[in-house]
């Protein structure tokens, strides 16, 4: 569920010739998501790197066990929650990816619980 | 983490939100000689419209990042260079209150201590977020807001999928579609719910917005160039797939947006962007006791203000999307009015000879842009038939996983009359998003199920903590 669909395809990053502003990303590196290495470039969020790799499910919901990923993309909806280095409820769409980060899909939460945050 | 220290920062004016409205306000405050703190949750200023790529990305042709590139650069420059302005990014205002001396804004900064900003005046410019309408499968991964897709593609430079469909209503779909097409995406189709004959009823009053219409025509040319179908009177009304969206059903709509029977067409897609206008972020203005008014055209409430952008709460100024959805063309002059008016209300700021003329100029700009925004809002107003797209099993509150069936049953079984009662009974709106996503939906459903006017059935928000923060923060 937390894996890429259609592996072996090229990633979803926008690259020349479609890069009008000729943006150069920062340095590439890897972090871990659900125990698998994921490539990211400095400046990308965790959500971006997962999206680029074709991974769309970041967590499952508390009651229905439903898969969820990026929804609003701007930090409003709290759908893309992941566990970053043991911290719960981190929004993948806003949290910068960093080399070696341990990121786990979040099971549950999505409401104000005592374990929220640090 | 439980350090009791809270840094205190005193300024004349606290500005919440560094989008177009907040930036324009800051420029005027500084020009008038007052001090301001410009607070924003994001790591870079710009808000939604002037959103910047991350610092680590380098653009060799930065002029092509934004069709209006110089304007935000000028504003960022003013904020960076003015000794009277302090930009505080990664800073989320989570509560605010008025005291005898002015206002206190409590801020959460990840990995830093707490911050309390004390100010004599407050300018609220917190913007808006996409409004999505529910249909079966709208909570499948791969279905996201049009704004999410734009953010991924514009500032993070990644596509949301390999076969993309956009669906919604309003002019915002166009720049998102054009961006995707120019970025090499396989955009299968763009579906605008409104029908041409409903849109063009208002075309005479659209003349005021010639420039913006020209921008729209440019986007349409891009879509034509890339062969992207742009169809009116249609919407994605179902998404299906295992674990993620794999296909969608696109329906033809009647003018009330109910589905034309037997009109469903199935398209393969692994990413769907939905956007039916925007919902304003009213949490802080509600908390500070400002009055809001429901606008039936926009199907949302907005902060009431006078011509100087002062809310009904003296000392609290409001600008941008929380006064009515109008985009940056409205947000910029409104922010300028708010900044100038707030500064002039400070006893220590001497008036300049041209202040009155400046204020009048910004007010006129805001009024003109608002007139055009009002026309667009009428052209693309939500029609009630969207409420028939969801089935009883469709989740309405994504956080608490409350279905439409549950909402309906609760309303009829307990004879609920307002939105707060629906929240307490069903848990709709009690999750981490604090009802930002389901709020407009629950208001609409409650209104139609009870036969009451949406203007009188209230809203969810009114929490002392307007943004979720770690518990440790509260102990400070
Ligand atoms: C995802 C998205 C994409 C958009 N793209 C376009 C586009 O391409 N073209 C267009 O014309 N319009 C676009 N819009 C519409 C947009 O609302 C306006 O164009 C414009 O940005 C509004 O300006 P503003 O200053 O009112 O608010 P915004 O630009 O939204 O700025 C508000 C700022 O306030 C901050 N904020 C809010 N609450 C708090 C708080 N409690 N503490 C600290 N900071 C806070 C936010 O982080 C944000 O940066 C978009 C909207 C969204 C949601």
Question: pLDDT, tens digit, for every residue of B238-272?
Answer: 999 999 999 999 999 999 999 999 999 999 999 99
Tokens 């000729």: give the residue. Answer: A22
Residue B188: inside a domain = yes
Domain that holds residue B35: 6-129+280-350
Residue A98: inside a domain = yes
Number of Cβ within 10 Å of residue B276's Cβ equals: 26
What was the pLDDT predicted at A2? 86
- Alpha-carbon distance of B197 to B329, in angstroms, equals 26
Please answer whether residues B149 and B271 qualify as being in contact, where contact means their C-beta atoms are separated by less than 8 angstroms.
yes
Q: Give the domain CATH number at B431.
A: 1.10.10.1100
Q: How many domains does chain A have?
A: 1
**Integer CA distances (angstroms), B141 to A2, A15, B26, B197, B435, in order:** 11, 24, 39, 34, 20
| pLDDT of B73 over the 60 cut | yes
Residue B306: inside a domain = yes
Same domain, B137 and B264: yes
Same domain, B36 and B118: yes
Of B325, B350, B375, the domain-final residue: B350
Mean of pLDDT values over A45-51: 98
What was the pLDDT predicted at A118? 29
A110 or B65: which carries more pLDDT confidence?
Answer: B65
Complex ipTM: 0.94
Mean of pLDDT values over B46-73: 86
What was the pLDDT predicted at B468? 81
- Alpha-carbon distance of A40 to A95, in angstroms, equals 12
Determine which of B118-127, B183-192, B345-354 has the lowest per-residue pLDDT on average.
B345-354
Residue to mutate, A71, A74, A91, A93, ligand 1, most ligand atoms under 8 Å from C-beta: A74
Q: Which residues does a 6 A CB cutoff place in the pocket of ligand 1?
A: A 74; B 16-22, 39-42, 47-49, 92-93, 125-130, 147, 150-151, 172, 175, 278, 281, 284, 320-321, 327-328, 331, 466-467
Of B350, B378, B412, the domain-final residue: B350
Find the closest chain B residue to A13 by CA distance: B158
Same domain, B113 and B141: no
- Alpha-carbon distance of A86 to A61, in angstroms, equals 18
What was the pLDDT predicted at A20? 77
Same domain, B327 and B427: no
What was the pLDDT predicted at B201? 80
What was the pLDDT predicted at A113? 43
Chain A residues whose beta carbon lies within 8 Å of the beta carbon of residue B243: 1, 56-57, 67
Contact A74 B41 (CB under 8 A): no
A22 Cα to the center of ligand 1, angstroms: 25
What was the pLDDT predicted at A114? 38
Shortest CA distance to B422 belongs to which of B394, B395, B398, B450?
A: B450
Segment B364-413, tens digit of pLDDT: 999 999 999 999 999 999 999 999 999 999 999 999 999 999 999 999 99
* Min Cα–Cα distance to chain B from A101, Å: 16
What was the pLDDT predicted at B340? 98
Residue B383: inside a domain = no
| pLDDT of B421 over the 90 cut | yes
**Atom number of ligand 1 nearest to Cα B466:** 41
What was the pLDDT predicted at A115? 39
Strands A36-41 and A28-33: antiparallel
Domain that holds residue A89: 28-112
Same domain, B167 and B120: no
- Alpha-carbon distance of B54 to A82, in angstroms, equals 21
B197 Cα to the center of ligand 1, angstroms: 31
What was the pLDDT predicted at A3? 81
Q: Give the domain CATH number at B203.
A: 3.50.50.60
Contact A23 B57 (CB under 8 A): yes
Same domain, B263 and B310: no
Residue B458: inside a domain = no
Residue A20: inside a domain = no
Residue B385: inside a domain = no
Residue A14: inside a domain = no
What was the pLDDT predicted at B150? 97
Mean of pLDDT values over B1-17: 84
Residue A10: inside a domain = no
B50 Cα to the center of ligand 1, angstroms: 8
Mean of pLDDT values over B155-184: 96
Mean of pLDDT values over A104-118: 57
Residue B105: inside a domain = yes
B22 Cα to the center of ligand 1, angstroms: 10
| pLDDT of B21 over the 70 cut | yes
What was the pLDDT predicted at B199? 84
- Alpha-carbon distance of B128 to B303, in angstroms, equals 13
Q: How many domains does chain B have?
A: 3
- Alpha-carbon distance of B125 to B320, in angstroms, equals 6
Check: pTM over 0.90? Answer yes or no: yes
**CB crowding B145-168: b at 16 or more within 10 Å, else e:** bbbbbbbbbbbbbbbbbbbbbbbb
Residue B358: inside a domain = no
Across chain B, mean pLDDT equals 93
Q: Give the domain CATH number at A82.
A: 3.10.20.440
* Min Cα–Cα distance to chain B from A37, Å: 19
B107 Cα to the center of ligand 1, angstroms: 19
* Min Cα–Cα distance to chain B from A51, Å: 6
Model confidence band, residue A9 (pLDDT cutoffs 50, 70, 90): confident
Same domain, B290 and B260: no
Q: Does A37 touch chain B (CB under 8 A)?
A: no
Same domain, B269 and B186: yes
Same domain, B77 and B93: yes
Same domain, B22 and B119: yes
**Integer CA distances (angstroms), B300 to B225, B230, B287, B381, B455, in order:** 36, 27, 17, 11, 9
Same domain, B235 and B287: no
* Dihedral angle over CA of A74, A78, A80, A85, nearest 10: 110
**Atom number of ligand 1 nearest to Cα A73:** 1
Contact B148 A64 (CB under 8 A): no
Residue B455: inside a domain = no
What was the pLDDT predicted at A7? 56
Of B247, B276, B305, the domain-final residue: B276
């Amino acid at each position: 569920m937390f894996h890429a669909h259609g592996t072996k395809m090229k990633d979803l990053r926008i690259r020349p010739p479609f890069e009008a502003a000729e943006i150069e990303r920062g340095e590439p590196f890897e972090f871990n998501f659900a125990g698998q290495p994921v490539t990211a470039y400095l400046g990308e969020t965790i959500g971006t790197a997962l999206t680029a790799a074709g991974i769309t499910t970041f967590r499952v919901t508390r009651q229905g066990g439903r898969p969820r990923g990026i929804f609003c993309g701007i930090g409003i909806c709290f759908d893309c929650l992941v566990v970053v280095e043991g911290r719960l409820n981190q929004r993948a769409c806003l949290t910068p990816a960093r080399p070696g980060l341990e990121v786990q899909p979040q099971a549950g939460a999505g409401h104000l619980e005592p374990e929220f945050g640090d | 983490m439980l350090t009791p220290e809270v840094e205190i920062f005193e300024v004349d004016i606290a500005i919440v939100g560094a989008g177009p409205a907040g930036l324009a306000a800051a420029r005027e405050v500084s020009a008038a000689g007052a001090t301001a703190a410009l607070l924003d949750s994001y790591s870079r200023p710009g808000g939604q419209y002037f959103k910047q790529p991350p610092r680590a990305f380098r653009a060799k042709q930065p002029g092509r990042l934004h069709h209006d590139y110089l304007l935000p650069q000028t504003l960022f420059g003013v904020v960076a260079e003015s000794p009277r302005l302090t930009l505080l990014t990664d800073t989320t205002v989570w509560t605010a209150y008025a005291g005898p001396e002015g206002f206190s804004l409590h801020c959460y900064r990840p990995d830093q201590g707490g911050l309390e900003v004390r100010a004599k005046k407050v300018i609220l410019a917190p913007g808006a977020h996409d409004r999505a309408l529910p249909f079966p499968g709208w909570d499948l991964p791969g279905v996201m807001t049009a704004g999410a897709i734009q953010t991924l593609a514009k500032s993070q430079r990644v596509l949301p999928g390999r076969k993309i469909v956009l669906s919604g209503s309003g002019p915002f779909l166009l720049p998102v579609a054009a961006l995707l097409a120019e970025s090499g995406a396989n955009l299968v189709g763009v579906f605008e719910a409104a029908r041409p004959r409903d849109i063009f009823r208002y075309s005479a009053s659209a003349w005021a917005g010639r420039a913006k219409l020209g921008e729209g025509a440019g986007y349409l040319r891009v879509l034509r160039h890339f062969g992207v179908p742009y169809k009116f009177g249609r919407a994605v009304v179902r998404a299906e797939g295992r674990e993620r969206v794999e296909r969608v059903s696109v329906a033809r709509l009647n003018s009330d947006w109910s589905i034309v029977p037997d009109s469903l067409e199935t398209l393969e897609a692994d990413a769907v962007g939905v956007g039916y206008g925007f919902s304003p972020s009213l949490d802080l203005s509600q908390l500070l006791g400002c009055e809001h008014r429901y606008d039936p055209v926009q199907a949302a409430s907005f902060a009431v203000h006078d011509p100087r952008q002062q809310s009904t709460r003296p000392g609290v100024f409001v600008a941008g999307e929380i006064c009515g959805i109008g985009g940056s063309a409205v947000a910029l002059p409104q922010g300028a009015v708010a900044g100038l008016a707030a500064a002039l209300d400070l006893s220590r700021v001497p008036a300049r000879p041209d202040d009155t003329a400046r204020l009048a100029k910004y007010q006129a700009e805001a009024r003109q842009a608002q007139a055009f925004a009002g026309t667009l809002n009428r052209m693309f107003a939500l029609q009630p038939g969207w409420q028939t797209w969801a089935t009883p099993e469709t989740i309405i509150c994504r956080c608490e996983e409350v279905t439409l069936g549950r909402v309906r049953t609760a309303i009829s079984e307990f004879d609920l009359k307002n939105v707060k009662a629906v929240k307490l009974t069903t848990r709709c709106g009690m999750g981490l998003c604090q009802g930002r996503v389901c709020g407009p939906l629950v208001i609409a459903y409650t209104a139609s199920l009870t036969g009451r006017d949406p203007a009188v059935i209230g809203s969810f928000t009114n929490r002392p903590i307007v943004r979720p923060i770690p518990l440790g923060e509260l102990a400070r």
